[in-house]
Every structure is written in C-alpha cells, then in structure tokens.
Structure 1
Amino acid sequence: MPPLAVVSVVVLCRAADTDGITPIPQLLAFLPWLLVPAALGLLLSTAARWPLGCGWALAAAAATGWFIQPYDGGSPPEPRGPVLARLRVMTANLEFGQAREGLLSALRRERPDLVAVQECDARCAEALGSAAVRKAYPYRSVALGDSAAAGSAILSRHPLTGAEGVRGTLRMPGAVVRVAGQRLRMQVAHPMPPMPGQLDLWRTELGRLRAYADGRGGEPTLIAGDFNATQDHAAFRAVLDTGLRDSARATGVSRTPSWPSATAPALGAQIDHVLVSRGLRPRTARFLDLPHTDHRALLVELDLYGPQG
C-alpha cells in the first residue's frame, strides 16, 4: 500500500539515523504529519479486511509517534552558580529582506538584546543602519552577500567583536559579545536548504556548524538562525549531540512550526532555532509572526551564568 510504504521508509531512515536521499529529507521535515497517511492506511486496510495491513499501519503509526517525542540528544547539564544577566535573543529570516519593516517593529516592541538576521539585503542593511536602530543596537556585524538571500547580520545592545564565521553559500557571521564581563560566542546559522540535487551541500554546511559547535571550548555559546533542518534530520541532531540545547525544546515548544508562515502554526516544520551551550539556560521561547516573510521569528529569553566548572 503506497501510503504505508512511504511512511515506513521515512520512519526507517529516522530510526537508522540517516537523512537518506530525495525525497526522504524533505519528508522528514514534516514527520509528525506522516500520522495522516498512516491513519489512511489503517482505514483502507480495515475496509479491505486486511489484518496484515492493519498491523502494518498500527506499527507505522506507533513508530512515527515515538519519534515525535522531543529529541534530547547530548543536552548539557543545567548551569550552576549566580545568574549574570538575562538576555532576550531573536532570530528572524526576512525572505530576501522583504520583512525588514516587520523586523523593525518587532525590535521596538520586544526589545531583544541580541538579534540574528538572515536574508538581509542592501535595503535591510540600510534600515538597520538608521539612527534609531543604531541608538538601540550600537554594536553590529553585517555581512551582505551576492543575492538578496545571502546576507546576514548580528545586532547587539552589548559590546561586540567580530569573529570568524562559518563558511557557507549564504553568509553566516560570528561574533564575541561581552555581557556583564562574560564572553559570549554568537554564531548565525543559515545553511542551504535540502533541495533535490543539493543534499550534499546541505549536509556539508550543517557539518560545518557542527564543527563550530564541537570546537567552542568552555565559553557560553549560542547559534541562532534558519537551520533549514528539524530535530528529525540526522544532520541537525549531530549539531545537538555536541552538547547544545535547543531553546524551543527546553521550554516545551519543540514542535511549534516556524515555516512556512502561511500555514503555521497549524501545519509546518520548526527549522528556525536558538541553540545554547552550558552557561545559558532557556526560560521562554515564543514564535512571532512577521509580515512579508515565509518564516516566523523566534524570541528566546535566556539566563547567562558565570564560568562553569
């Protein structure tokens, strides 16, 4: 039965910790919705009085349900000691810079301390360079690319020093932020999406983000942006397995979709994330709707702790 065959192949790839080949990575992004064809298979098997098909459908639904659970991975232990600062971190993909006005409105309304912006074009850079934005965010790192989708930016209320970012087709700048005397490493994420014919590139760029996370040392680190991947992708779980915590997962909203905004939150995938190392504890996470972009922004509140032993 085709619906059950599709569900079975995708779930087997998930269980085998592989993203497979097209269309497996694309289907993995919507893994929870595979319960629909599994239920359809059960209905059809029941109507056809096919016991084997009923068992197959129930097994496929049970396996899908098992993997819908939030992924724990190599989450770090809870930080200890005094809280140095409480930070609000926002990430937003502006879809070719079109949502720049919506971003500016969100900045005024939500007043995040650190902002990771993806798909920031020349018009976006100009808007972020206005006197009002510079007054609110005097520290920044803007990296424009050769297309409207390629640029990214980091905005900060705290002193910021530019750092070598992660190499990719799209710009992924990095920085070191000084907060309450503590160094905080910040990295924008925006690997290429898993398009047919480009899966190797997608895996390679997520692999570079994993290498950055794995080589972070003991300093508090956050990676924020559009990862073009969900917790059901092995390439993304490999990043988490370096000991990073997904802020949405930590605050109970690990399955809230962030893309595409046209159907979220009813239907979609969570591909926008804020990942944090030990020394940062997520307190809340909210997804915000911005006009003129296919992504929802993510706003996370974090506690920053002092050096951890």
Structure 2
Amino acid sequence: MRRRLGEAVLWLTVAALAGWAGLRLCGWEPKFVWSQLVSFTPYAAAFSVVPLGFALYLRAGPLIAAALAVTCAFAVAVLPRVLPEGNPPAAGPVLRVMAVNLLHSSVLPPVLVETVERERPDVLHLLEFTGLMQKRVEELGLTRSLPYRIVLPGEDSSGAAIYSRYPLRAADRPIAAPAFEGSPRHLPAVVTLPGGREAEIVAVHACAPSEGWRTACWASSVRALPPAGGPLRILAGDFNSTLDHAVLRDLIATGYRDAADVTGKGLSMTWPYYEQPRLFPKVAIDHVLADRRIAVQSFRTLRVPRTDHRATLTELVLP
C-alpha cells in the first residue's frame, strides 16, 4: 500500500514537471502567472532529478522512463547555458559595456561612481535613472572618465542614461515609447569607436510581466527592441525576461547572442537581491545581447549595494 501511494505521488510529480517542460519547449506562454513561473525553469530542471532518483530506488520501470524523459527535456532547455560557445573571428576595437538597474536611483551616488572607476567600462547603461541621480553622479566626477552622455531622466522606473568614453549620438531610429504612462523606456544611441567604427547600443528596460496592464506592456516592450541585422548592435540592461521566455528567444533568433549564454554563464542570476531572504530563488533577467558578428570575450555580474539587480559587465570585440 505504501509503495503504491509513493508511486502515485511520483507519477503526479512527474506529470506536473512534464507539463512544465512541455510548455517551455513548445513556447506557448499563458498570460500572467506562467510568464512569471517559467523564469524558474532552471530550478524545476534541478528538481526533476528527485522523482527520477526515487523511481530508480523503487525500480519502477515505466516511472523511470517517464521521469528520465522529463529530465532530458529540461536538460535540452537549460544545459546549453553552462556550455561555452566559440566566437566569430573579430579583430576590431574592444568595447566594455556595463549595465545596472539602480532601483529607483536608490544606489548611493559615491558607490556608483567608485564602481565605474574600478571597473572602467567604455559604455555605461543606467536604468531607473532620475534627474537628481544625474546631478549627484556628475558632481562626483562620472563624466571625467565617461564624458559623452545621452540622458533621459525620469521618475521611479522610467528614466535611463548612457554614458560613454567615446562619442555618442542619438540613434537614427528611435524606439517607440510604451503606450502605458510611467513605464520603463529603452534608450538607443550610436557610439563611435576609435578608427571611426560605429555600433548602435540600446540601454534596455522592459516592463515586468506582472499584474494588470503590465502583462501586456511586458511582451510588447521586448518586441519593440530592434532585431539584429544591418548595423552592429548591442542591447544591454534589464529585459525582465529570462532565456526561458519565448519572446526573448525570438529576439535572439533574429541574429543576437546572449553574452552570459555564450560564455557558459547563462545561469548567473541577477534578480532579486536587495532586502530578500538569502535563500529566495533568483532569476536571470539582465542580459547583454550582441550581434552574432561580435565576439564575446567575457561576461560577469557585479554586486552593487542598494539595488535588487546585479550589474552586468561584458567585454566585446567588434569585427
């Protein structure tokens, strides 16, 4: 009796995990709850070995086969993120791109400036950037190392800025602002590197897939980002999407590569860290997408106090 009950519980667990894996692989995303839940697919993948282990212990043949199939399905979705990829041939200028969500500009300005001076990015994307934060960081000398800037300050989550070591100009094709007032906005620009090579850069801040109108804002804000092709382009910032969201994978499929994925660090979680229990599960929603012609030399995340996001720092080599 006890064995039958145990097998029944295992079958229900495997069935639930099979449904999760099936939804993830087919790309269909029911609104609201699933758009959030699918972000935790790596944890579901890790958990899938538990019923497999119990099935092996019970020597239940059909259950072993089903659990193994589910684990393999999750492996197809998740395992490539920890396997480094090669790079295209690239011998052009090197560009270090740093992006950080400032949590409504809660990061202390001296800390931000010190971090930038220590890490020495060539391009800095700042999200949730207010006018007061702009005033303070520029007073503290941010523009000494990054003298060029395009700034779109705003309240709470709507502001963004790009600071650069190299000349900047507005992008030829602006990205349409969200139809929802107070939503985050993407900020595109063109950077001119030594030797005259240009690349388009976008400070990305998508809406969150949360309740009410934000669910609609989320998918449309990711789809508003420009596809790859044509000029070299780099998208960096808070996508509010993981590699388990079909809308982000569709964007990457146009000709981008995810820097964390390319370097085998696709499970580097970036949110939420501030004022959360240590064991609260984290997800990877901050990304750097580079045109597939660009080589990704390195990717890492950085702790910046007083924000719930990890900053990203990526070194790229242009063709």
Relative to the length of structure 1, the TM-score reads 0.86
Gapped regions of structure 2 (runs ≥ 5): 1-8
Paired with 1:254 and 1:4, the residues of 2 have a C-alpha distance of 26
Distance 1:77 1:42, change over 3 A: closer
What is residue 256 of structure 1 aligned with on the other side? 268
Paired with 2:51 and 2:32, the residues of 1 have a C-alpha distance of 23
Paired with 1:40 and 1:196, the residues of 2 have a C-alpha distance of 32
1:184 to 182, 199, 202: 199
Q: What's the RMSD between the two structures over aligned residues?
A: 2.7
Kept in 2: contact 1:86–1:302 (CA 8 A)? yes
Kept in 2: contact 1:89–1:115 (CA 8 A)? yes
Equivalent residues in 2 for 1:153-164 (5 A)? Answer: 153-163=161-171, 164=174
Paired with 2:279 and 2:248, the residues of 1 have a C-alpha distance of 21
Count how many residue pairs are aligned between Structure 1 and Structure 2.
296
What is residue 215 of structure 2 aligned with on the other side? 199
Paired with 2:295 and 2:200, the residues of 1 have a C-alpha distance of 15
Kept in 1: contact 2:45–2:78 (CA 8 A)? no
Kept in 2: contact 1:142–1:154 (CA 8 A)? yes
Q: Are positions 1:16 and 2:39 aligned together?
A: no
Equivalent residues in 2 for 1:117-196 (5 A)? Answer: 117-130=126-139, 132-145=141-154, 147-163=155-171, 164-168=174-178, 169-180=183-194, 181-196=196-211
Deviates further, 183-192 or 125-134: 125-134
Kept in 1: contact 2:101–2:307 (CA 8 A)? yes
Paired with 1:263 and 1:183, the residues of 2 have a C-alpha distance of 43
Kept in 2: contact 1:185–1:222 (CA 8 A)? yes
Distance 1:282 1:100, change over 3 A: farther
Displacement after TM superposition at 1:54 (Å): 4.2
Distance 1:268 1:292, change over 3 A: same
Paired with 2:188 and 2:78, the residues of 1 have a C-alpha distance of 32
What is residue 107 of structure 1 aligned with on the other side? 116
Deviations 1:116-162 (A, max 9, x none): 111112332222322511222111111123x3111111110100012
| % identical equivalent positions | 30
Distance 1:6 1:196, change over 3 A: farther
Equivalent residues in 2 for 1:1-309 (5 A)? Answer: 1=9, 3-42=13-52, 52-70=62-80, 78-80=88-90, 82-83=91-92, 85-101=93-109, 102-130=111-139, 132-145=141-154, 147-163=155-171, 164-168=174-178, 169-180=183-194, 181-197=196-212, 198-209=214-225, 212-214=226-228, 216-217=229-230, 219-261=231-273, 262=276, 267-305=281-319
Paired with 1:256 and 1:190, the residues of 2 have a C-alpha distance of 19
Q: Which amino acid aligns with 1:204?
A: S
Kept in 2: contact 1:122–1:144 (CA 8 A)? yes
Gapped regions of structure 1 (runs ≥ 5): none
Displacement after TM superposition at 1:9 (Å): 2.0
Displacement after TM superposition at 1:62 (Å): 2.1
Deviations 1:254-276 (A, max 9, x none): 11111122578994221111111
Paired with 1:237 and 1:69, the residues of 2 have a C-alpha distance of 15
Matched residue SS, 2:80: coil
Kept in 1: contact 2:113–2:141 (CA 8 A)? no
What is residue 4 of structure 2 aligned with on the other side? none
Q: Which has the larger radius of gyration?
A: 2
Displacement after TM superposition at 1:232 (Å): 1.1
Relative to the length of structure 2, the TM-score reads 0.83
Matched residue SS, 2:74: helix
